[in-house]
């Protein structure tokens, strides 16, 4: 009897874990890889060499999900708040007191300062480089600069093509994953911008980037009603924005890395 029940039970349990994983607030694995791939294409020769040496030949796309991969390991729990920041929609990040536990902005700043410090060990350089690659990606997911009251849209329940979802998850993964392209296909088919537009997007401070992304966040919050049934129309209306966030995330990651590694 147990021989017959066990496989059924295992299938049932793996379904549960899969659906639990589906609620986990991660910018899609594909999204992070696209951002890594775009950045890779815009690295200076010197930065590309230094990074390839630290990553032992792995590409930015290959390590882009490291920050999420370590989340389930308690040894890294201090880094969990680094993936996002929540603050009131009508305030600038510079107007709010940063949480003592850290957030995505502080996380990025910390990675940069550790990587620029000549005393940092090679092991730490590898760790904080992988974190930085991941966090610049998270920063560009509009729902990672969210509102505390709905946990960055996690508590705004919606239907996505007839299945239960929420605003955070639509932006983390539903939009990108349902598009059905691999990360390399997506990276290859993103809009091509002229050099001056690329340089303009790469300029500015981290705080200016946050303010700009927050404008997207506010538009995304205004784009749905609680319980709404989303499908093709929503993707049609928002796909350009998804592509733009992936592109600017990648371009800015390259700018940050070129600044660190010369
Ligand atoms: N948990 C609480 N707020 C969050 C956010 N904005 N993004 C991801 N996870 C969260
Ligand atoms: Zn998320
Ligand atoms: Zn993350």
pLDDT in tens, the chain (262 residues): 555 555 544 444 444 444 444 445 578 899 999 999 999 999 999 999 999 999 999 999 999 999 999 999 999 999 999 999 999 999 999 999 999 999 999 999 999 999 999 999 999 999 999 999 999 999 999 999 999 999 999 999 999 999 999 999 999 999 999 999 999 999 999 999 999 999 999 999 999 999 999 999 999 999 999 999 999 999 999 999 999 999 999 999 999 999 999 8
Pocket of ligand 1 contains residue 31 by CB under 6 Å: no
Smallest-distance ligand from the CA of 169? 2
H-type helices in the chain, by residue range? 2-22, 29-41, 45-54, 60-63, 66-69, 104-116, 122-139, 167-169, 175-179, 183-189, 195-202, 206-221, 232-261
Domains and CATH numbers, the chain: 27-261 (1.10.575.10)
Q: CA separation (Å) from 109 to 118, 135, 149?
A: 16, 10, 25
Query: Which one of 134, 151, 171 would you pick to mutate in the ligand 1 pocket, going by the greatest count of ligand atoms within 8 A of its CB?
Result: 151
d(CA 85, CA 107): 10
Distance CA 258, CA 253 (A): 9
DSSP conformational letter for 159: E
In the block, tokens 């550790």 appear at: 114
pTM, two decimal places? 0.91
Residue ID of nearest Cα to ligand 1 atom 3:
151
Q: Ligand 1 pocket, 40 CB below 6 A?
A: no
Q: Which residue minimizes the CA distance to atom 10 of ligand 1?
A: 151
Of all protein residues, the one whose alpha carbon is nearest to atom 2 of ligand 1 is 151
pLDDT of residue 3: 55
Is the minimum distance from the CB of 71 to ligand 1 under 6 angstroms?
Answer: no
Instruction: Determine the 3-state secondary structure of 23 from DSSP.
Output: coil
d(CA 249, CA 242): 11
Closest residue CA from atom 1 of ligand 1: 151
């Amino acid at each position: 009897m147990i021989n017959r029940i066990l496989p059924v039970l295992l299938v049932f349990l793996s379904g549960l874990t899969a659906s639990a994983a589906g609620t986990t607030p991660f910018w899609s694995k594909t999204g992070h890889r696209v951002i890594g791939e775009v950045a890779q294409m815009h690295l200076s020769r010197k930065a590309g060499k230094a990074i390839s040496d630290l990553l032992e030949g792995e590409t930015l796309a290959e390590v882009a999900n490291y920050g999420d991969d370590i989340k389930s390991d308690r040894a890294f729990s201090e880094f969990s708040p680094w993936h996002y920041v929540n603050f009131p929609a009508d305030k600038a990040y510079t107007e709010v007191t940063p949480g003592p536990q850290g957030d995505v902005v502080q996380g990025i700043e910390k990675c940069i300062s550790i990587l620029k410090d000549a005393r940092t060990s090679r092991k730490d350089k590898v760790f904080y480089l992988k974190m930085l690659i991941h966090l610049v990606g998270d920063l560009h997911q509009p729902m990672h600069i969210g509102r505390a009251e709905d946990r960055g849209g996690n508590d705004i329940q919606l239907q996505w093509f007839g299945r239960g979802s929420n605003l955070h998850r639509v932006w983390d993964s539903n939009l990108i994953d349902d598009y059905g392209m691999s990360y390399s296909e997506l990276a290859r088919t993103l809009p091509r911008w002229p050099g001056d537009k690329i340089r303009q997007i790469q300029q500015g401070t981290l705080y200016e980037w946050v303010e700009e992304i927050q404008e997207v966040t506010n538009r995304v919050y205004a784009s749905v009603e609680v319980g709404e049934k989303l499908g093709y129309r929503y993707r049609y209306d928002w796909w350009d924005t998804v592509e733009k966030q992936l592109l600017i995330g990648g371009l800015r990651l390259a700018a940050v890395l070129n600044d660190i590694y010369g």
